[in-house]
Amino acid sequence: MVRFELLAADAHTKGYDRSDEVERTRKQMMIQAMMKAEFEDRVQLTDISDADVQTYFTAHHDEFDKPEQLRASHIVIRDRAAAQRVLTQVLAKRADIAFWRETAQRYNEDTETKDRFGDLRFFSRPADRRDDEPVVPAAVAEAAFSIAQIGDIYPTLVQSPAGFHIIKLTGKRAALHRTLEEASRPIRNRLWRERREQRVTDFIATLRRDANVTVNESALAALHLDIPAGESPEIAGQGAPVVPPHPGAPVPAAPPSAPSNAHPTRSP
């Protein structure tokens, strides 16, 4: 404690407390303390009632009752002979993921999935398909569900109006059937987080309105950041939020100072 106080006193004497970095850190700690007191400590998990949980469960029942799903990739070729040649090649190298990706990128004639190396994403059996799932031809879906092992390839071509499909199984999801009792805890936690985050959003909107914030877009567009090679703008600080995404979370470092003509019209 003595060492800490002596160093702090000497740093103050030498003016380090007036540096921009120290001021930013002070503001960050102040904001973090306020957010915890105003939101994290005031919005409690017990504020979410059983009726709130029941309402969410009823309105989002599909989240807790899902059929078995598979993920597969395909290569679609309109000419049967060409498709058969490609199938023979990939069957010979069925464990070679890089070869599949190269082949899909080269031969797949399905424009929607070509850039994804043929990825169809997750889908259910045709009889269980839901509106939020990708549209997969019934014959393709049935063939995929007959493949036993992830990574294996359906042994024959599958025909659809789009052409001849070569199908590779890439993932599985077991069916999900959760009761209200089983889903209660995650629902309550989710509603608690959403309610807390909404209060933060509303609070910040009120602060912006009361402060009459104006932003000089042209000056902001002219702002240049020297970002080290290999580092993303987010890591470098561009667009880093001042307020943590969740109350109580560490506040990220503030971004470089913006032009001085982006400011509230009243004093803090």
Compute CA 182 distance to the chain's CA centroid, rounded to the nearest angstrom.
Answer: 25
Write out pLDDT tens, residues 12-30. Answer: 999 999 999 999 999 999 9
Question: End-to-end CA distance of the chain, in Å?
Answer: 33
Contact 140, 149 (CB under 8 A): no
The ranges of the chain with pLDDT < 50 are 235-268
> Residue 153's CB: how many other CB atoms inside 10 A?
21
pLDDT of residue 46: 86
Residue that has been written with the tokens 């959403």 in this structure: 194
pLDDT of residue 262: 41
Task: Give the whole-angstrom CA distance, residue 97 versus residue 164.
Answer: 21
Task: Give the whole-angstrom CA distance, residue 145 versus residue 126.
Answer: 10
- Domains in the chain, start-ordered, CATH in brackets? 26-51+193-268 (no CATH), 65-176 (3.10.50.40)
Contact 41, 247 (CB under 8 A): no
